[in-house]
Amino acid sequence: ATLMQHLHKAFDAERLFLMYQPQIDLETGKFTGLEALIRWRNDDGVLIPPNDFIPLAEYSGLIISLGAWVLRTACFMMVRLQKAGIAPQRMGVNVSVVQFRQDDFIDIVEQALRDTGLLPAHLELEITESVTMSSAALFETRLAKLKELGVKIAIDDFGTGFSSLSYLDKLPVDRLKIDRAFVNQIDTPEGPRIAELITQLGKKLGLQVIAEGVEHEIHWKTLAAMGCHEGQGFYIGRPMLEENLISWINLRK
């Protein structure tokens, strides 16, 4: 069978699952958010990374049902954490451009919220910078509707695409996620420049800024010193299964 057939089968057989990576305030260390990250464990027990199958799911259209499932599952997880009294402010969910362009995308989001009882303000949709530019007019109307609904919007992998600054200024975006490529180079002499620029840009525009790929203490310190609000990365916490995440949360208390 082809990889595509395997992927469809995996989805049907519930071999796909989510892991959750924590996000924290870089100044206080406070637990602020989570990002849901999809994983696929194949029949041989091998973990297949999303970069190897998301494009396939997009191409085959499976991303529509897969994306809806991710949304619901992540919202349910957030509600469970809230009921346990250990939830952060928000749950971030990655949205594919194919999903985002669907006519019923807003309905799908509303339905996930309704079915799970999660308040919109606790859901943050992560949209990559390339999406914002590939369909600017659609992006604008969609964002307005999502804003009306009350969900948060983050621009993922920020700095790697080609955002127009005028768009950033007028669109109802809540957060910029500094791509980990810019965090990775931060401990070299000229390394922090881009991360600093994005942080300042975000602040000027009244947006929250979070850095991805915080892998070492020096990353955290440098980012905190430049005023970057939040961080996410292996040094803080890896993507975790629910039970490991709960231990992670409890250990920090």
What sign for the dihedral angle of Cα 138, 144, 150, 153?
Answer: positive
Binding test (CB under 6 A) with ligand G, winner from 73, 94, 199, 222 = 94
Question: Per rule CB under 5 A, is residue 156 in the interface with Na ion?
Answer: yes
* Residue range at the interface with Na ion (CB under 5 A); choices 44-52, 57-65, 103-111, 151-159: 151-159
* Residue range at the interface with Na ion (CB under 5 A); choices 14-22, 140-148, 149-157, 231-239: 149-157
User: Which residue is at the shortest CB distance from Na ion?
Assistant: 157
Question: Per rule CB under 6 A, is residue 49 in the interface with ligand G?
Answer: yes
CB of 164 to ligand G, least distance (A): 21
Question: Per rule CB under 6 A, is residue 237 in the interface with ligand G?
Answer: no
* Residue range at the interface with Mn ion (CB under 5 A); choices 45-53, 62-70, 88-96, 98-106: 88-96
Q: Count the residues of the shown chain that bind Mn ion, applying the rule CB under 5 A.
A: 3
Nearest CA among 183, 202, 203 for reference residue 193: 183
Token pair of 71 as six digits: 């949304």
What sign for the dihedral angle of Cα 89, 78, 72, 99?
Answer: positive
By beta-carbon proximity to Na ion, the closer residue of 126 and 196 is 126
Question: Per rule CB under 6 A, is residue 73 in the interface with ligand G?
Answer: no
Binding positions for ligand G, 171-230, rule CB under 6 A? 180, 212-215
By beta-carbon proximity to Na ion, the closer residue of 88 and 233 is 233
Binding test (CB under 6 A) with ligand G, winner from 7, 24, 34, 38 = 38
Token pair of 143 as six digits: 């964002």
Binding test (CB under 5 A) with Mn ion, winner from 91, 100, 126, 219 = 126
Binding test (CB under 5 A) with Na ion, winner from 157, 173, 224, 249 = 157
- Applying CB under 6 A, the residues found at the interface with ligand G are 21, 37-38, 49-51, 54, 70, 94, 96, 156-157, 180, 212-215, 233-234, 239
